[in-house]
Amino acid sequence: MASAPENEKNASAPEKKTLTLKSMINNEEFVVDEHVALQSVTIKNMVDSDCAGDVIPVPTISGEILALVIEYCKNHANPSASEDDLKKADAGIVAKDIYTLIDLVLAANFLDIKGLLEVTSQKIADSIKDLPHQDVREIFGVENDYTPEEEAAVRAEHDWAFEGFP
Amino acid sequence: MSQLPEEVLADILSRLPVSLLLCLRCVSVSWRALIDGPDFIKLHLNRSIETRTNRGLILREDNHLFAADLDSLHGGGVQPSQIDHHPLWCQDYGIEVWGSCNGLVCLSNSLDTLTLWNPSTRRSRRLPYASIEFQYPSRNHEIRIYGFGLDSVSQDYKVVRIVKMKSVDDDSFDYEVKVYSLRSKSWHRAERFPRYQSLKRTAGVLASNALHWVVTEESEIRMAGLIVAFDLGRESFRLVPQPECSDKNFYLILQSLGGCLSLLCNYFLDRVDVWVMRDYGVKESWSKVFSVAQSSVIRPFQYVRLVAYSRNGGEVLMEEDNSKLIWYDLKQKRVKRVRVPGLKELTQAEMWVGSLVPLDGGVESDGKKQQEQEEKNM
């Protein structure tokens, strides 16, 4: 992850290597420095095995989410950023509504970016901490496959835990 | 909306407290299967231990138990709530806490009713009666102590009971050791306890797959003693090497600190040294981690016990003179009193970690089934 600072790199390399990431949802394209994009293990594997063309198509991730992912990677590719700076920047990236966070966690998982997966998962957990299970079910898009009787029975097993919830 | 892959979902849910997870079992059949599954229970428990989250305290005031969130203790004060759902609630005379492991707590009362209890799920299992099988009828039982922990070799939770009998005619004595296995749900006899004159009446301290007690060759435990370990895997006793202390004029208390066996050497009215055995069984690995000078505290204490590290590891929570809680700042070397409103006298403080660990030695069954099984086992 640690890469040489920009200026040192420019001194020897005539041109900075870039990659183009393309969202296959809305065809938005992002040109990023290679060392930024390589924080994604998925992209790194593609580049390492010469599977990456000029444009790397990213399925199932929208431009909006891809922009957040790239912002995260840029922050973490900056060698002069302090731990505190990164913590603040991470908090800014995940200060989103729950649905955006779920898209972001899917993207972090698909692109295999461990740090982003960690902060996003924690933020989602913090966001659902005070919600009743019906809301959580809706947020995660889970179909309720219990019959009303079954659900009541499961609830009755730990009825005390629902205090304060509807 | 796209469904989350199961490992991503499990990772998110493993960051939640147990009470919420119990509600989320109602989301769907597959969520319930995920939350009840042994892999998820382990993931959740390991995360709580690693990140020092989901930790609670059980506080005892005589026969009453109270619960407090350990993380909320940092504001200086804590509002404990009385636990009215513990399994010995109706027979709570002489209630004692005999340790906790992975979210399970071992409780006893003066009727020698012994139960394992998960305060987070409110499930419990009453242990069957175990007779004391001594050959000589003229012996009175003098001391009965317990220890509790997970045997990581067999992945079985075990309760160890040691009973010391003393003759009414002469000075002869004998010990009996029995082990309860949660998996087999029964007691069996174990190797005889080594013939030491005295055994300190404390809960066995769990570290490195063994329970530890302090013993002495003399009839009374006044000063430093020996450390005897009961290996939960082999079910046998051995002595554990102690650090080389030049001044042996201390009172010895055993602890588990951050998973390591720890010694608290109390030099009366002077200081308390805390040692940790970093490499279990290796004498040279004992190192003094900190020392609390009596002059740094407001009022000299007679007795201290370590309860837990703070979340960031910078402070240690201690129980002082069986009556109050204090935070000791390791860097500043300063003591901060923890106010516990509503509790006149604190008799015991025990840390436990909130977990979903079931009490049937395998996969958690539903409430009714468990109750039926418990009744059968009694």
What region does B8 belong to: left with phi over 0, alpha with psi -120 to 50, or beta? alpha
Residue B14 lies in a domain: yes
pLDDT band at A4 (very low <50, low <70, confident <90, very high): very low
pLDDT at residue B45 greater than cutoff 50: yes
Residue A163 lies in a domain: no
Nearest residue in chain A measured CA to CA from B9 = A121
For range B316-327, the mean pLDDT: 84
- Same domain? For B211 and B96 the reply is yes
Segments in chain B forming alpha helices (H): 6-13, 18-24, 29-36, 38-51, 367-377
Residue A80 lies in a domain: yes
- Same domain? For B257 and B321 the reply is yes
Q: How far apart are CA A101 and CA A73, in angstroms?
A: 16
Residue A147 lies in a domain: yes
pLDDT band at B43 (very low <50, low <70, confident <90, very high): very high
Residue B347 lies in a domain: yes
Domain total of chain A: 1
- Same domain? For B295 and B261 the reply is yes
Domain total of chain B: 2
pLDDT band at B325 (very low <50, low <70, confident <90, very high): confident
Q: Would you state the pLDDT for residue B300? A: 65
Residue-range definition of the domain harbouring residue B38: 1-54
Of B4, B32, B85, the CB nearest to A106: B4
> pLDDT of A93-125, one tens digit each?
999 999 999 999 999 999 999 999 999 999 999
Q: Do B85 and A125 touch (CB under 8 A)?
A: no
Q: Do B15 and A121 touch (CB under 8 A)?
A: yes
Q: Would you state the pLDDT for residue B77? A: 61
The first and second tokens of residue B218, run together, are 């003399």
pLDDT band at B369 (very low <50, low <70, confident <90, very high): very low
Residue B368 lies in a domain: no
Least Cα distance to A76 among A114, A124, A30 occurs for A114
Of B9, B17, B23, the CB nearest to A162: B23
Q: Would you state the pLDDT for residue B368? A: 38
The first and second tokens of residue B69, run together, are 């969130």
pLDDT band at B230 (very low <50, low <70, confident <90, very high): very high
Residue B167 lies in a domain: no
> pLDDT of B256-299, one tens digit each?
887 899 998 888 778 888 999 999 999 999 999 888 887 766 56
Residues in CB range of B326: below 8 A, 6 or more apart: B297, B317, B318, B320, B335, B336, B337, B338
| pTM higher than the cut 0.90 | no
- Same domain? For B77 and B111 the reply is yes
- Same domain? For B276 and B341 the reply is yes
Question: Mutating which of A61, A131, A158 best tests the B interface, going by the most B Cβ atoms within 10 A?
Answer: A158
Residue B189 lies in a domain: no
- Same domain? For B3 and B110 the reply is no
Å between B70 CA and nearest CA of chain A: 18
For range B136-149, the mean pLDDT: 79
- Same domain? For B241 and B300 the reply is yes
Q: Do B26 and A121 touch (CB under 8 A)?
A: no
pLDDT at residue B6 greater than cutoff 50: yes
Residue B371 lies in a domain: no
pLDDT band at B365 (very low <50, low <70, confident <90, very high): very low
- Same domain? For B294 and B346 the reply is yes
The residue assigned the tokens 């199932």 is A60
pLDDT band at B223 (very low <50, low <70, confident <90, very high): low
Of B2, B17, B27, the CB nearest to A136: B27
Tell me the CATH number at B210: 2.120.10
Residue A165 lies in a domain: no
Tell me the CATH number at A46: 3.30.710.10
- Same domain? For B10 and B96 the reply is no
Which of chain A's residues have a Cβ under 8 Å away from the Cβ of B31?
A: 142
What are the C-alpha distances in Å from B311 to residues B89, B98, B102, B199?
Answer: 31, 24, 17, 34
pLDDT band at A10 (very low <50, low <70, confident <90, very high): very low
Which ipTM value was assigned to this complex?
A: 0.88
Interface residues from chain A to B (CB-CB < 8 Å)? 60, 99, 102, 105-106, 109, 117, 121-122, 124-126, 128-129, 132-133, 136-137, 140-146, 151, 154-158, 160-162, 165
- DSSP-derived pairing of the beta strands B139-151 and B123-126: unpaired
The first and second tokens of residue B378, run together, are 């009694």
CB B305 within 8 A of CB B253: yes
pLDDT at residue A2 greater than cutoff 60: no
Exposure string of A100-121, with b = 16+ CB inside 10 Å and e = fewer, is: bbbbbbbbbbbbebebbbebbb
Residue B176 lies in a domain: no
Residue-range definition of the domain harbouring residue A134: 6-158
Q: Do B26 and A145 touch (CB under 8 A)?
A: no
- Same domain? For B66 and B37 the reply is no
Rounded to 5°, the CA angle A45-A48-A50 comes to 105
Q: Do B28 and A99 touch (CB under 8 A)?
A: no
CB B289 within 8 A of CB B275: yes
Least confident range from B62-76, B339-353, B361-375: namely: B361-375
Question: Mutating which of A154, A160, A165 best tests the B interface, going by the most B Cβ atoms within 10 A?
Answer: A154
pLDDT at residue B169 greater than cutoff 90: no
B129: number of Cβ within 10 Å: 10
The residue assigned the tokens 């468990």 is B370
For range B339-359, the mean pLDDT: 87
B340: number of Cβ within 10 Å: 21
For range B108-115, the mean pLDDT: 89
Residue A66 lies in a domain: yes
- Same domain? For B206 and B113 the reply is yes
Last residue of a domain, which of B37, B54, B71? B54
- Same domain? For B22 and B42 the reply is yes
User: Nearest 10 degrees: CA dihedral of B133, B137, B140, B143?
Assistant: -10
